[in-house]
């Protein structure tokens, strides 16, 4: 079902593939050796994947593009570095090897969220696997090539493209193609790499800002922490805390977000590096720097529309006055030309996804995808009728402290000090100010902007990530400086805050490593054989369908998890939860289709429903299990549109569409 060896091989391939290219690119655009190496994994991942994604639209497969692209960039970057080293003198000490090793170990915690756990009761999954149900997209890219065909929904005659920001999953697909890993294993490897690359980015920033290895060590340690909520609940009780604060959401620290949504974390890392590249583009406008900047922007957007789209646009507008003041005398025309070139390149690479998202937005209907509203912090009754007005200050004074203890207060003070003490005329001073502006925009966007596309406020949850990364690095720098003081009170308070945050981090780590055993655990252990039976009767291009609510108890919220992890085939409708992000359907039509499929697998399907599955939705292969209501009241058994192909007694039945079901579909309709 899952191979640790394949996961390890895929992670090693990504480490070699992206870090090597990222290092020579970092040196070529002006980063010193001490900064270029820790930034290399995230820089190489973003640039290489953005470039490979565009080439693969013409070539069709990720494997050749990944290999050839890596070699070309590494050779080109090495050639440029040897002939024009533009990095200023740098006395920063090199990152010690043991810190790379420490980051690699900490990065295992988010990766464990994807790995299945064998128990006596069956297979246990971590709660974060819910957000990794997009693994089906990785399998689709490996199986069908590029551009990807929507594996979640796409009946005949309707758009089959993917409007989701899928660059991160494309990177995982490269690892799968390169090593032969399955999508599930490649996702775990890519999750580890994203965690490792962003850890090294934050540690490298701390080292760069202070020239202190201790600062880098503290930064990695801070990433092991979590929210203060578990500690507060232990002290005051969950009920008492619930009277003051709203329940926890996806607005959380690095450890939680790396476990649940690594693609947003990767986009945040790209945005932080883009801010540093922008400063170098202003101080020394060059064609190579402009190209890297354009690819970084495109890669950030293709990984997360919220971080790489909304936050990036706002951050670059805020940075523009600082960048203009950084342009050397007489260099303004070159800088403006470089900016226009970078913007044109980013737009060119992002255009296919922009078009897909525009069409999907039109088909879904609705208004603006972004609205202005303070992040809800206080419980409804906590502040009487004025609670809405108090949410805004509570975000800055309460929520950020609760969710990012020590990182937010210590990082904010340290970042202010670093920006204020740095000479505005030096590169390091401009970098500190640029990172400070990025942090302010990131936190403000998270506190004021709301995404309206889905059921969750993904914009508010993810917009905080770039600022959080900068604050973590600044907090590490500040704590290192604090340790130089002879006093004991302030360091003691810092140690207490860190210990309190470790409780929340330990809860996340334990959940990722242990998983949750559900009532479906034993049945889930048999799922690989079940889906292997489906694949025997489903060619690579076939659409399959199963009960979208199958194994609903395996995840915190119902999602078609066994299909997503193991089917390696497209679905004609994978379920309402996955259709929210991937199906260009209005809320009303999506709900009606979901009800129809649930009705069929509950054993209440009509002849019209059978006709709709075969002709309207193009379901080529059907899986019915003993867990479905349709097992006892099987509507497929007597349907002229399907025939039984294989059965496992008391377990599952596989039906395939009959030749007559391939007739031209009638006008789509939903049976009431």
Beta bridge partners of 571: 544
Residues 6+ apart with CB under 8 A from 386: none
Contact 153, 573 (CB under 8 A): yes
Task: Quick: pLDDT tens for 292-337.
Answer: 999 999 999 999 999 999 999 999 999 999 999 999 999 999 999 9
Task: Quick: pLDDT tens for 124-163.
Answer: 999 999 999 999 999 999 998 888 899 999 888 777 889 8
> Whole-number mean pLDDT of the chain?
89
Give the model's pLDDT for residue 291: 94
Rounded Cα distance, 99 and 259, in Å: 21
Query: Residue 622 carries which DSSP code?
Result: E
Domain-wise residue ranges, the chain: 4-87+97-512, 521-662
Residue 619 confidence (pLDDT) above 70: yes
Task: Quick: pLDDT tens for 559-573.
Answer: 999 999 999 999 999
Q: Name the one residue in this structure whose structure tokens are 């696997």.
A: 129
Alpha-helical segments (H) within 84-228: 97-106, 108-112, 135-144, 167-179, 183-210, 213-222
State the pTM of this model: 0.93
Task: Say if residue 608 is preceded by a cis peptide, omega within 30 of 0.
Answer: no
State how beta strands 621-625 and 652-657 pair. antiparallel
Residue 383 confidence (pLDDT) above 70: no
| CA angle at 535 for the pair 531 and 540, rounded to the nearest 5° | 135
Residues 6+ apart with CB under 8 A from 131: 260, 261
Query: Residue 331 carries which DSSP code?
Result: -
What sign does the CA torsion over 575, 580, 584, 585 have?
Answer: positive
pLDDT confidence band for 672 (50 / 70 / 90): very low
Angle between helical axes of 213-222 and 464-482 (0-180°, round to 10): 130
Give the model's pLDDT for residue 662: 56
**More confident of the two residues 154 and 344:** 344
Query: Residue 545 carries which DSSP code?
Result: E
Q: How many CB atoms lie within 10 A of CB 426?
A: 12
Residue 84 confidence (pLDDT) above 60: no
pLDDT confidence band for 78 (50 / 70 / 90): low
Rounded Cα distance, 661 and 543, in Å: 13
Give the model's pLDDT for residue 89: 56
């Amino acid at each position: 079902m899952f191979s640790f060896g394949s996961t390890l091989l895929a992670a090693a391939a990504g480490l070699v593939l992206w870090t090597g290219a990222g290092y020579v690119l970092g040196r070529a655009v002006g980063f010193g050796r001490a900064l270029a190496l820790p930034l290399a994994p995230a820089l190489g991942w973003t640039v290489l994947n953005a470039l490979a994604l565009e080439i693969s639209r013409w070539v069709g497969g990720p494997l050749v593009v990944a290999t050839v692209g890596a070699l070309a960039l590494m050779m080109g970057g090495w050639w440029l570095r040897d002939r024009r080293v533009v990095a200023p003198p740098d006395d920063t000490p090199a990152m010690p090897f043991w810190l790379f090793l420490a980051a690699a170990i900490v990065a295992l915690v988010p990766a464990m969220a994807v790995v299945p756990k064998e128990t006596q009761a069956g297979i246990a999954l971590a709660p974060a696997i819910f957000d990794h149900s997009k693994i089906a997209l990785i399998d689709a890219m490996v199986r069908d090539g590029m551009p990807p065909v929507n594996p979640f929904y796409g009946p005949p005659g309707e758009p089959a493209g993917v409007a989701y920001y899928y660059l991160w999953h494309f990177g995982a697909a490269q690892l799968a193609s390169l090593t032969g890993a399955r999508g599930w294993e490649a996702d775990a490897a890519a999750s580890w790499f994203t965690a490792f690359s962003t850890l090294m980015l934050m540690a490298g920033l701390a080292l760069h800002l202070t020239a202190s290895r201790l600062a880098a060590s503290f930064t990695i340690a801070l990433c092991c922490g979590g929210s203060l909520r578990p500690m507060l609940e232990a002290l005051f009780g969950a009920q008492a805390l619930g009277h003051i604060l709203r329940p926890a959401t996806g607005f959380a620290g690095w450890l939680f977000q790396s476990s649940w949504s690594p693609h947003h974390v990767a986009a945040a890392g790209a945005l932080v590096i883009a801010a540093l590249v922008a400063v170098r583009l202003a101080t020394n406008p060059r064609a190579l720097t402009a190209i890297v900047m354009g690819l970084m922007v495109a890669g950030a957007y293709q990984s997360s529309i919220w971080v790489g789209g909304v936050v990036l646009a706002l951050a670059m507008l805020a940075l523009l006055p600082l960048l203009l003041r950084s342009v050397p005398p007489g260099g303004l025309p070159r800088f403006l030309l470089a900016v226009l070139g970078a913007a044109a390149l980013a737009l060119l690479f992002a255009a296919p996804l922009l078009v897909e998202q525009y069409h999907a937005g039109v088909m879904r209907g609705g208004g603006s995808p972004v609205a202005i509203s303070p992040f809800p912090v206080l419980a409804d009754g906590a502040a009487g009728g004025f609670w809405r007005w108090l949410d805004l200050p509570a975000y800055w004074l309460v929520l950020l402290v609760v969710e990012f203890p020590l990182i937010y207060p210590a990082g904010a003070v340290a970042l202010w000090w670093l920006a204020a003490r740095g000479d505005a005329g030096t590169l390091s001073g401009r970098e500190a100010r640029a990172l400070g502006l990025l942090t302010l925009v990131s936190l403000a966007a998270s506190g004021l902007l709301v995404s309206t596309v889905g059921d969750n406020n993904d914009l508010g949850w993810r917009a905080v990530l770039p600022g959080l990364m900068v604050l973590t690095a600044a907090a590490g720098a500040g704590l290192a400086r604090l340790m130089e003081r002879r006093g004991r009170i302030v360091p003691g308070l810092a140690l207490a805050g860190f210990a309190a945050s470790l409780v929340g981090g330990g809860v996340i780590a334990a959940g990722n490593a242990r998983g949750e055993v559900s009532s479906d655990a034993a049945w889930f252990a048999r799922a690989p054989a079940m889906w292997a039976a489906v694949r025997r009767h489903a060619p690579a291009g076939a659409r399959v369908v199963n009960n979208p609510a199958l194994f609903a108890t395996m995840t915190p919220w119902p999602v078609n998890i066994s299909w997503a992890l193991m089917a390696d085939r497209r679905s004609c409708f994978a379920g309402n939860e996955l259709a929210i992000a991937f199906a260009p359907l209005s809320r009303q039509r999506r709900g009606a289709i979901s009800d129809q499929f649930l009705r069929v697998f509950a054993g209440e399907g009509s002849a019209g429903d059978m006709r709709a599955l075969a002709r309207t939705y193009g379901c080529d292969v059907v899986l019915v299990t003993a867990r479905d209501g349709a097992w006892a009241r099987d509507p497929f058994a007597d349907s002229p549109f399907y025939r039984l192909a294989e059965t496992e007694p008391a377990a599952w039945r596989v039906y395939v569409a009959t030749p007559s079901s391939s007739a031209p579909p009638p006008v789509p309709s939903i049976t009431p």
